[in-house]
Structure 1
Amino acid sequence: MLQWISDNSEVLNLVANWAMVLIWIVYLQVFLLSFRRQTLPKIVINRAAGSTLDAACFVSNMSSDAIYIESVLVEIGAGDDTLGCTITDFEFFDGEKGSDDPKLRTYQGTLGPSQYTSLGKFEDLIASVARRTGHDVENLKSAGGPITVEITIIADYASEDQLIGARRKFRATWEGDHWKLIAETTETQQIRSPRERKRISELIAADE
């Protein structure tokens, strides 16, 4: 056995060297994938503090770095009607007076890692979209069918050249004497494909 090893030492060394190279390649790939996973941006959109339309819509930054929220899009579906618009900046109606501080008149702004912000009640989001698109929110609610609310967040992220985004859809159904609100998906959909990110960049440009 020892003689066979001695006679084939060059071949065995070559095999051992290539095996070591292969191990390092696999290790490097695992390391790069783990690093990429840790640095990927992640935005979570969720319902909080209730399960009716009075529940708040929270946006959380689960990324390793801060994000800057550029725009908030909301699309409402009720019966045959589909309404959608940007609600990034607050609009005031019927004599409403907002804060003089510009930071309190918009959803735009920086959100650090593990921080969250509230978009307000789902009922207010529905009402805001209805008013901005010239519809009566009570007519939407009285249609009898479910109401869907899709929230899309568009943001900047330091390590990404293109805008990032996330979306999640919720459904409200009338149950007895109140609206019951649930998320249609278990997780927030991250907008990461180049095609979708290009589309949201075009949406931002068209809104300016």
Structure 2
Amino acid sequence: MFGWLSQHSDILSIFTTVGSIIIWLGFSQYLYTEMRRRRHPRLLINGGKRRDTHALCIISNMSDEPVMVEYLIAELETSQGRITQEISGTVVSLSNSQQGPLNANDFFHIGTFDRIIRHLADGEGIKMDGHRPEGNVRFRSLTVRLIGIYGPESLPFAAQRCFRLKQKESYCILSPATPDTPQFINRWQRHRVRKWIEEINNSSSSTLQGINR
């Protein structure tokens, strides 16, 4: 046995070296992937414990650093078109949040989904009958979009989540359209977010009909 090892020591040394290189490459790739993941912002948009529109809309910062939320936009899809409004200016009245950055692993809520829907409907002159709009209008979905700055990065990023709305007799069912909150964090997506901001700033009305997905 020892004689065989002695005769093939060079080959064993090569295999050992190659194996060590593979292990270190795998470990380096893991560290690089983990570093990139930790550098990226991650905001979650969720409903509270309820499954109807009386649930709270909760914003959570799962990033490693604080996030400054600059714009908060809600988009209500109806049977007669979409209503899109920036509600950052009314976030204090809709929410229990405080001005300033959202710290890592912290969260706040912006009121109930029902209150947000009513805020958008009221802005378009849609009268409500309980949780339903009056007339022939039907609500289909509500999308909540946040635009913010993460750490020392100069380009803004966005997170948004769509919730389907299904009206029942005495309540409205709320169900997420995606299992997670999509993030707009790569360079191409962030340039798209900057265009959204330009449209917000150039809009003379709180209704931002020019914002598209």
Q: Same fold (TM over 0.5)?
A: yes
Residue identity opposite 1:130 in structure 2: A
Q: Is the alpha carbon distance of 1:87 and 1:122 closer, same or farther for their aligned partners in structure 2, counting shifts above 3 Å?
A: same
Moved more, 27-36 or 123-132: 123-132
Residue identity opposite 1:136 in structure 2: I
Q: Which residue of 1 aligns with 2:133?
A: 141
Taking the TM superposition and a 5 Å limit, the aligned residue runs for 1:76-155 are 76-90=76-90, 109-132=100-123, 134-138=124-128, 141-142=133-134, 143=136, 145-155=138-148
For residues 184 and 126 of structure 1, the distance between their equivalents in structure 2, rounded to whole angstroms, comes to: 17
Q: Is the alpha carbon distance of 1:23 and 1:178 closer, same or farther for their aligned partners in structure 2, counting shifts above 3 Å?
A: closer
Q: Which residue of 2 aligns with 1:165?
A: 158
Deviation at 1:79, TM superposition (A): 0.5
Specify every segment of 5 or more residues in structure 1 that has no aligned partner in the other structure, as ranges.
92-97
Specify every segment of 5 or more residues in structure 2 that has no aligned partner in the other structure, as ranges.
202-213
Secondary structure class of the residue paired with 1:90:
helix
Identity %, equivalent residues: 22
Q: Is the alpha carbon distance of 1:144 and 1:51 closer, same or farther for their aligned partners in structure 2, counting shifts above 3 Å?
A: farther
CA RMSD of aligned residues (A): 2.9
Q: Which residue of 2 aligns with 1:194?
A: 187
For residues 125 and 145 of structure 2, the distance between their equivalents in structure 1, rounded to whole angstroms, comes to: 21
For residues 11 and 105 of structure 1, the distance between their equivalents in structure 2, rounded to whole angstroms, comes to: 68
Q: Is the alpha carbon distance of 1:7 and 1:170 closer, same or farther for their aligned partners in structure 2, counting shifts above 3 Å?
A: same
Residue identity opposite 1:141 in structure 2: P
Given that 2:126 and 2:133 are in contact with CA atoms closer than 8 Å, whether structure 1 keeps it comes out as: no
Q: Which residue of 2 aligns with 1:179?
A: 172
Count of aligned positions: 197
Residue identity opposite 1:181 in structure 2: L
For residues 144 and 3 of structure 2, the distance between their equivalents in structure 1, rounded to whole angstroms, comes to: 72
Deviation at 1:51, TM superposition (A): 3.2
Deviation at 1:31, TM superposition (A): 2.1
